[in-house]
Amino acid sequence: MFDLDKYTSFIEAQIKDIQTPKKPANLYDPFRYLLNIGGKRIRPILTLLGAELFGLEKEKVIGQALSVEIFHNFTLVHDDIMDEAPLRRNSKTVHEKWNQNVAILSGDVMLIKAYQQLCRIEPERLSEALLLFNNTAIEVCEGQQLDMDFETRDNVTIDEYIEMIRLKTSVLLGSALQLGSIVAQADKVDQENLFAFGQNIGIAFQIQDDILDLYADPEKFGKQVGGDVISNKKTILHLTAEANATIEQNEVLKQLQKETNIEFKIKRTRELFDQLDVKKTCKDKMDAYSKKAMTSLDAINVNEDQKENLIQLAAYLMLREV
């Protein structure tokens, strides 16, 4: 049985071991703060599993796993400035706790620290790892830029949206896995299948995220159900509704965006989405990406037993209710 908590604890211990200078405090305190406010550590765990899939012990890919986690935290600290987000995992964001300049610069240093960790690798594998890491990092920036661009555009298509979430969040999951497999010297085709598995699970996960925002059980969800509706976010639910709506229904959708009675706004939006079969359409899309992911995993040329942890992690990610 796959023990997620055991892997999370392993990563937590490695994070605690990272040595950072005391000074300048405004540069390194935010680094320590953000890295230590928790999370499931899914990305670095993917790197461990990507190595184990090809028979390499997780202890051999700690640098690459930490690299992925530190890179992810770099994106969080800069994205939170751009989104003016006050909270991250129920704690103050870096720019709120310190200030914006501290958040910019400590984010920069995190990105460099991610490269430092990545370099804890046999020199013969360094080029290959860097090629992947650089491309991934650039794609993540492109995804974030597209996400910001979409805020002021009113003609975003579903395909564009999927491409945005692929870049912004999913390539990093694929790359996290592939980095582990690079260190394990996996065959190139297996590496690519592993990347595709991670990327497609990532897209499915993100679609599910959008669905849960409106359709989660309020008892279990832990935050406001319908948050995306309130903030008029162009989620895949919204874009699917737009694409399937009549001119009249699109007019109603537009009016609802201006609605100030939040309860009414969420209730009416949901009714409209239900008329348009939005939830099912999105769920089908999500399932298609999930299935694609599993097909890629199937194709990887290792013993089926070796894939068990990845299958269970994927199930854990896709069967969540919150």
For 78, the enclosing helix (H) or strand (E) is: helix 62-82
87: β partners: 92
CB of 286 to a second copy, least distance (A): 26
Q: Residue 185 CB, nearest distance to a second copy (Å)?
A: 15
Our CB check for a second copy shows the closer of 18 and 126 to be 126
How many Cβ atoms sit within 10 Å of the Cβ of residue 157?
Answer: 11
- Using only C-alpha atoms, the chain has a radius of gyration, in whole angstroms, of 20
| 322 counts as binding a second copy under rule CB under 8 A | no
The dihedrals phi and psi of 239, each to the nearest 5 degrees, come to -65, -35
76 scored as a contact of a second copy (CB under 8 A): no
Q: Under 8 Å CB-to-CB from 1, ≥6 apart: which residues?
A: 312
Per CB under 8 A, 159 contacts a second copy: no
Give the separation between CA 102 and CA 100, rounded to whole angstroms. 5
Q: In this chain, which of 137, 171, 203, 293 binds a second copy, going by CB under 8 A?
A: 137
CB of 167 to a second copy, least distance (A): 10
Q: Does 115 bind a second copy (CB under 8 A)?
A: yes
Task: Decide: is 144 part of the binding site for a second copy (CB under 8 A).
Answer: yes
Interface with a second copy (CB under 8 A), residue from 9, 55, 87, 127: 127
How many CB atoms are located within 10 Å of the residue 192 CB?
17
Does 86 help bind a second copy (rule: CB under 8 A)? no
**How is residue 304 annotated by DSSP?**
G
Tell me phi and psi for residue 84, to 5 degrees. 50, 40
Site residues for a second copy, 93-112, by CB under 8 A, read 101, 104-105, 107-109, 111-112
Among positions 11-40, residues that touch a second copy (CB under 8 A) are 21, 24, 26-27
- Tell me the C-alpha distance between 266 and 224, whole Å: 11
Give the one residue of 42, 48, 70, 146 binding a second copy; rule: CB under 8 A: 146
Q: Both tokens of residue 66?
A: 């930490």
Give the binding site for a second copy (CB under 8 A).
21, 24, 26-27, 78, 81-82, 101, 104-105, 107-109, 111-113, 115-116, 119, 123-124, 126-127, 130-131, 134, 137-138, 141-142, 144-146, 148-149
